[in-house]
Amino acid sequence: MIRIDLRLCIGCLSCSNVCPSQNILRTETAEERRILWKRCREECDLCVEHCPARALSLVPFDEAVPEPEASFDLVACRICGRRYATEPMLRRVEASLPPSQNPEWVRACPTCRRITEAERATGEMVAGRLKRAPGWGGAE
């Protein structure tokens, strides 16, 4: 059955997604993600293989061991406040970025990232259009 090192789990749900027997359950609200690893008799090790944090291992079945549970508070986007990711996942992404990247944007949700990019890309052009407000003639 599954053993998990909860200190390493990042809450990504890979294990739950790949388990062919639906032994790893999850629930999610707007604010929280909960994962429950049920006792299983399978020895397929798909979850072990696909865990990005290498937090899972297989141990002999033991009725006495409680089924591990984890719960993650979802982190709020620093721009819109919508909760969009677990903290360990965000940390892992920050650590994986090429060194040249400024990781501030990681703490914004994907939608806000798009909006930020849209504003950045059009900033100069918009300034030109606003200056060329009703009546002001000017090529850009």
- Residues in region 109-138 near other proteins by CB under 8 A: 109-115, 117-119, 121-122, 125-126, 129-130, 132-138
Summary count for the chain: helices (H), strands (E) = 4, 6
- Please count the residues of this chain forming the interface with other proteins, following the rule CB under 8 A: 44
Which token pair is 96? Answer: 């994986």
DSSP H/E element including 112:
helix 110-131
Q: According to CB under 8 A, which one of 30, 59, 64, 139 is a site residue for other proteins?
A: 139
Report if residue 89 touches other proteins, rule: CB under 8 A.
Answer: yes
Whole-number Å distance between alpha carbons of 72 and 34: 6
- Residues in region 29-68 near other proteins by CB under 8 A: 50, 52
Taking CA atoms, 24 is separated from 4, 19, 50, 86, 98, in Å, by 12, 7, 13, 18, 33
The type of residue at 39 is: R
Report if residue 27 touches other proteins, rule: CB under 8 A.
Answer: no
Residues at the contact surface with other proteins, assessed by CB under 8 A:
12-14, 17-18, 50, 52, 85, 89-90, 92-93, 96-98, 100-101, 105-106, 109-115, 117-119, 121-122, 125-126, 129-130, 132-140
